Structure 1
Amino acid sequence: MGFHTFDIDSAAKLDDPSRYRFVSREELLSLLDPRPDAVVADLGSGTGFFTDDVAPYVETMYAVDVQEAMHDFYRENGAPENVAFVTADIASLPFDDDALDAAFSTMTYHEFATDEALAELARVVKPGGRVVTVDWTATGEGHAGPPTDERFALGDAVADFEAAGFTVTHGATRHETFVCTARRRD
């Protein structure tokens, strides 16, 4: 797998509304089921495209990205007041144990999917908390997103989340993407 980051020179492409064809705002909110008092992290937040969709429904929204330049791009476009910027690798998150009610990643799982990153998610997400993952599937045609040899299949993600201490409650493979919702076990 090719663990890479998105080219900051192409960041404006991340704000293209056509991205909703892969996961809509409504689908993401339905899968995440956020509460008004929730603390949620967008893993690989980039320009904040999906962060902005979830932020109005939670108390604290963390925009987590490994590239400070992505945060700069997001700040320049304006971020909701409840968004806090965190520059970190998913395998080394600066949160306390059980700090997050939920987390989500949209089209970034292939960039961080390691045993260390999943163990870190199990550490920072509260027992019963959700992690929603929507990413490019290895079984897709590859017309959008990274090359298919840099992608994971739903079964890979399910196995990895289960091994890390989560129970997968929903999974589906679509034409170019998969969705996986997992809850942290107690």
Structure 2
Amino acid sequence: MGFHTFDADRASKLEEAEQRYRYLSRDELIAAIDPAPDDVLADLGSGTGFYTDDVAPYVDTVHAVDVQPEMHDYYREKGAPDNVAFVTSDVADLPFETDALDGAFSTMTYHEFATEESIATLARTIASGGRLVIADWSADGMREVGPPVEERYDAADATDALEAGGFEVVRAEERPETFLVVAIRE
């Protein structure tokens, strides 16, 4: 992934619901994903599985994708739903077949993989009509928490990159600290 990843030694911080839902609620994420019961999705930068757990009841399979095996270890120890599959990989190197995913989502990790290679991989692995949901710390945000400002993007940056990579952005909004983008694979 990109610049830096979240320190696995601080993984328990990713389980603080009050803090996490302040920036993206479970209901907002589920509505943006708009899952179907037979969907196969990927959580890009799944970390401890905080949001993976929220999505899992609504789909057939969620691939918890993270570059850090320590995050998968934490998630396994915490207890993962039976329909979660662990994938240790950079987004640019996802091991999925072409059109294997019905969609993917990234919660506060886009800044870690925002490259042309990663977007090309997502365009290859997400089937036509599949959804990609990205919520991340905004470069235009108030900078209360999150990664360093120089590692952040805004909704316009993400929209431009996704549209150049074969996605149609159907929703893009800036919020006080974060942005949310919903795109459809063309």
User: What is the TM-score when the length of structure 2 is the normalising length?
Assistant: 0.98
C-alpha contact (below 8 Å) 1:141/1:148 kept by paired residues: no
Counterpart amino acid of 2:52?
Answer: T
Corresponding residue of 1:159: 160
Q: Following the alignment from structure 1 to structure 2, what is the Cα–Cα distance between the partners of residues 6 and 84?
A: 21
Corresponding residue of 1:89: 90
Greater Cα offset, 90-99 or 147-156 = 147-156
Q: Following the alignment from structure 1 to structure 2, what is the Cα–Cα distance between the partners of residues 177 and 148?
A: 12
Q: Following the alignment from structure 2 to structure 1, what is the Cα–Cα distance between the partners of residues 148 and 68?
A: 21
Q: Following the alignment from structure 1 to structure 2, what is the Cα–Cα distance between the partners of residues 79 and 184?
A: 28
Which deviations, in whole Å up to 9, do the C-alpha atoms of 1:122-169 show, x marking residues without a partner?
000000000000000001121110121110011100000000000000
Corresponding residue of 2:10: 10
Counterpart amino acid of 1:74?
Answer: Y
Corresponding residue of 1:177: 178
Q: Equivalences for 1:130-149 in 2 at 5 Å?
A: 130-149=131-150
Q: Equivalences for 1:96-107 in 2 at 5 Å?
A: 96-107=97-108
Counterpart amino acid of 2:114?
Answer: A
Gapped regions of structure 2 (runs ≥ 5): none
List structure 1 runs of 4+ shifted beyond 4 angstroms: none
Q: Secondary structure at the match of 1:146?
A: coil
Greater Cα offset, 135-144 or 41-50 = 135-144
User: What is the TM-score when the length of structure 1 is the normalising length?
Assistant: 0.98
| Sequence identity percentage | 61
Q: Following the alignment from structure 1 to structure 2, what is the Cα–Cα distance between the partners of residues 69 and 27?
A: 28
After TM superposition, give the deviation of residue 39 of structure 1 in Å. Answer: 0.2
After TM superposition, give the deviation of residue 3 of structure 1 in Å. Answer: 1.2
Q: Secondary structure at the match of 1:158?
A: helix
Q: Secondary structure at the match of 1:178?
A: strand
Counterpart amino acid of 1:141?
Answer: M
Q: Equivalences for 1:111-126 in 2 at 5 Å?
A: 111-126=112-127
Q: Following the alignment from structure 1 to structure 2, what is the Cα–Cα distance between the partners of residues 150 and 61?
A: 27
Q: Following the alignment from structure 2 to structure 1, what is the Cα–Cα distance between the partners of residues 141 and 173?
A: 13
Gapped regions of structure 1 (runs ≥ 5): none
Counterpart amino acid of 2:98?
Answer: D
Q: Following the alignment from structure 1 to structure 2, what is the Cα–Cα distance between the partners of residues 30 and 76?
A: 29
Q: Equivalences for 1:30-41 in 2 at 5 Å?
A: 30-41=31-42
After TM superposition, give the deviation of residue 56 of structure 1 in Å. Answer: 0.4
